[in-house]
Amino acid sequence: MKSSNSAAPKLADLLSFAIYSTNLAFGRAYRPILEKLGLTYTQYIAVIVLWEEGAQTVSSLGEKLFLESNTLTPILKKLEALGYLTRERSTTDERQVIVSLTYAGHQLRERGLDILLIENSKLSPIESKAVQSAVVAVRNTLIGLTRAR
């Protein structure tokens, strides 16, 4: 049944759908690369944060990835089982768990997992940065709105 409101936005016109469907497309593009190592995209981005910033608490990692502890913990357990990271209780605060990459985790970078697929998107580096900045601005605004409630 067709809506009588012709002013209603179409799915293809929604920014939220464009971002959502682009996220799915990135997932599909990364899948063959990551499957070779048995990684999911979320595991991959956790490793990237650890490449960039080194050892850190689970809560710090979760904040950077926008993941709650109950979502992040199984991801970290899998990466630990694969031999890519270690989890150890902090010696100064036993409530905190410190996550760090193993030698094998660092070697993932050498095996080509720091490839950015945006290079294949046909965007110039300037266009890519502009899109990334705009999406981050939208994300940060939405986070601010939800925190204000």
Cα–Cα distance, 138 to 117 (Å, whole number): 22
pLDDT over 90 percentage in the chain: 57
Residue 61: CB atoms within 10 Å: 23
What tokens were used for 29? Answer: 């593009």
Please indicate, yes or no, whether the overall pTM of this predicted structure exceeds 0.85. no
How confident is residue 33, by pLDDT bands cut at 50, 70 and 90? confident
CB 121 within 8 Å of CB 128: yes
Per-residue pLDDT, averaged over 28-48, amounts to: 87
Which 3 state secondary structure label does DSSP give 84? coil
pLDDT of residue 136: 93
Which of 23, 124, 34 lies closest to 66, judged by CA? 23
